[in-house]
Amino acid sequence: MCQILRWLFFALVVQPLVLVAIGVNVVCNRKYLPRRGPAIIVANHNSHLDTLVIMTLLPMQMLTRIQPVAAEDYFLKNRILAWFAVNIIGILPIVRKFVPGKPDPLMPACKALTGGRVLIIYPEGSRGEPEHMTHFKKGIAHLARRYPQVPMVPVFLHGLGRILPRGKYLPVPFFCDVFVGKPLYGEKNIDVFMWKLKSSFETLSHQQQFPAWD
C-alpha cells in the first residue's frame, strides 16, 4: 500500500514539480550517478527539495532502493511527518550526535549499504543559510572508510535554496543546476578524504558564475 502511494507521489507530484515547474538542469557528468547499490550520493544541502531532485535524477525503478539519510530529531518529531518521511520519502533516520555508551550512529547506514541501498548524505548536517555551503562533518569519512569499495558521488546543487529556502513553505520557480563529480572512494586517513571531498565540491561549485542572492 505504502509502495503504491510512494510511487504515485513521485510520479504525480515530485516528477512534474522537479522536471516541469523547476526544470532541473544537469550541467555535467550525469553518467556518474549510480545505477545500482550500494552507493552513496553526497550533496550540499539548502532545501528540502534537494532530496526530491536527487531522487528524480535516478531511475524510477531504483526508487525503493534509495534512502536519504535524515536527522531523527527533525523528521521523527511528530507522527504525521514521521509517517510521510519514512514511508513515502523512505528516509533512513539517524541520530545526529554521537553519545558515548549509546549505539553507533553510523550503524543504520552501514546496514543499508550492506543491503545494497543507495544513500543520500548531506555532510553539512543541516540546510542552513540558503545557497551557502558550510563546514562538512566527518561522519561521512568514517562511513567511507568502513566501505572503501562503495562509490561516493559528489553532487553540487545550485538554486534550490532560492526555490524553497529553510523556513518557507511556498516554492518559487528559479533555475536549478546540478553538477555531478567523479566518484570518490573511502580512505584510511579521514582528513585526506575530507580534503578530497571538499576540493571536489570546490571545483564543482566554481564551474559556473551564479547571480547574486542577498
Partner 1 sequence: MTAGLSGNLVAVLLGIVTLLTVASLVILALKSRLPGNDYSELVLRIRTWWAIVAIFAFAILMGRIAAIILLAFVSFLAFKEYISMLPIRRSDRQVVFWAYLSIPLQYYWICKGWYWLFIVFIPVLVFLLLPFCMAVIGETKGYLHATGTLHWGLMITVFALSHAACLLALQTGTSRPDSGEGMLLYLVFLTQFNDISQYFWGKLLGRHKVTPLVSPNKTYEGLLGGVITTLLLAFPLAQVLTPLTPIEAVIAGLIIGIGGFIGDINISAIKRDLGIRESGRLLPGHGGVLDRVDSLTCTAPLFFHFVHYTHY
Query: Which residues are at the interface with partner 1 (CB under 8 A)?
Result: 23, 25, 27, 130, 159, 162, 165, 168, 170, 172-175, 209, 211-214
Q: Which residue has the cell 503504491?
A: 4
Q: Residue 181 in contact with residue 204, Cβ under 8 Å?
A: yes
Least distance (Å) between residue 207 CB and partner 1? 13
> Measured from the CB atom, is 20 or 192 closer to partner 1?
20
Secondary structure letter of residue 156 according to DSSP: E
The CB-based long-range contact list for 121-124 (8 Å cut-off, 24+ gap) reads 121/40, 121/41, 121/42, 121/43, 121/69, 122/42, 122/43, 122/44, 122/45, 122/50, 122/69, 123/42, 123/197, 124/44, 124/45
What is the C-alpha to C-alpha distance for residues 77 and 83, in angstroms, rounded to an integer?
10
Least distance (Å) between residue 168 CB and partner 1? 7
Least distance (Å) between residue 203 CB and partner 1? 20
- Within 8 A by CB and 6+ apart from 47, the residues are 127, 130, 160, 161, 163, 164, 165, 166
Least distance (Å) between residue 170 CB and partner 1? 6
> Measured from the CB atom, is 1 or 170 closer to partner 1?
170
> Measured from the CB atom, is 189 or 208 closer to partner 1?
208
> Measured from the CB atom, is 159 or 186 closer to partner 1?
159
Least distance (Å) between residue 209 CB and partner 1? 8
> Measured from the CB atom, is 20 or 107 closer to partner 1?
20
> Measured from the CB atom, is 110 or 172 closer to partner 1?
172
Beta bridge partners of 184: 152
Least distance (Å) between residue 53 CB and partner 1? 15
